[in-house]
Amino acid sequence: MHFYILTKEKCLLMDSSDSAQDLLRCRLCDAPIPPLWCQLCNVYLCKSCAGEHMLDTSKQHKVIPVEQTMSKPFYPKCQKHQRKKCELYCKQCTNPICVQCISSQEHPGHEFMDLSEVVNRKKEKLKKSLQELVSTTLSKYKEIASKIPNQKSYLRQTSDGLKTAIDEHGKTLQKEVDTIVNKLKSEVDQKVENQVLSLREEEINQKISSIEEYIYNQKELQASRDLGLIIEHKSRHEEFKNVPSSHDVTLPTFCAYEINTDQLLAQFGSFSDETRHDEQNVSCAKFQKVFMKWISKGFILINS
């Protein structure tokens, strides 16, 4: 339920779960508790920005104190009877209407409601939808976004480990293996790049920005006295509900094989199946067999 606090200096729209600073902000500089409102543009303004707003001579702006916007609701003009205000609502046509619309027999047998009652019901529904958007949908997107820096850090760290393994294996080879080393390192970089792209970081951040902008506009709508603007509002909540699942990043493990110069490219090594990022131990039987063979031939020294 909304209630108003009116003082000589301020007129704030308060909510049981939102502060006035959250609901009313200057459209130009985002300053809290703006004292002015442009009746033409339907935006709130601070004193500093009101002058700049009035410099736009392409429109006949009318800036008034916020207190005046709280005194009475703004009923929309009737589309068919321009001199009349729509104070009623036709349930069958789902449109605001004026008293002249009823007397002109344009809505025979229809049921009518007070427009302010319809608006109050819609605002209550919008409020619940907004609360769900803030507490559930937005929080899920932010949870995904919060994991991305750690996932990117993991990819960088793991890719460094893969490159080190490739370098150490390449030291036992002749100069002809240099191109193969570079080739595999390039593949690691490509796999990392592909994994980073799969995180959809830009898309997630854009979606968060869209939701936060929508929430901001919803809060302004909650504070608005323009009943026509509210009744025309179309909720976008369903658009944001399809939250993607959190994506776990993975990278392969490098397994080195016994070196055979005649079949160097085939035997240098390959990436194993991708493994999860929790650093679980990966068993590679072929690598262990070759590794023990290198030790027996003196290719690798183990410090005791």
Instruction: Map residue 97 onto helix, strand or coil.
Output: strand
- Report residue 224: phi and psi, to 5°: -75, 145
Q: Tokens for 303, please give them.
A: 């410090």
The 10 Å CB-count burial string (b at 16+, else e) for 2-20 is eeeeeeeeebbbbbeebeb
Q: What are phi and psi of 44, to 5 degrees?
A: -90, 145
**For a pLDDT cut of 90, what percent of the chain falls above it?**
20
User: Mean pLDDT, the chain, as a whole number?
Assistant: 78
Nearest to 106 by CA among 80, 84, 75: 80
Backbone φ and ψ of 258, nearest 5°: -65, 135
Arithmetic mean of pLDDT, 34-49: 90
User: Strand pairing of 88-90 and 63-65?
Assistant: unpaired
Q: For 76, which DSSP code?
A: P
pLDDT in tens, 180-220: 778 888 989 998 888 888 888 888 899 899 999 989 988 88
Phi, psi of 19 (to 5 degrees): -85, 165
Helix (H) or strand (E) holding 38: strand 36-38
Measure the CA–CA gap between 161 and 168, rounded to whole angstroms.
Answer: 11
pLDDT score for 6: 32
Residue 131 has pLDDT above 50, yes or no: yes
| 190: amino acid identity, one letter | Q
- Do 114 and 89 contact (CB within 8 A), yes or no? yes
Which residue type occupies 94? T
Buried b (16+ CB within 10 A) or exposed e, 88-98: bbbeeeebbbb
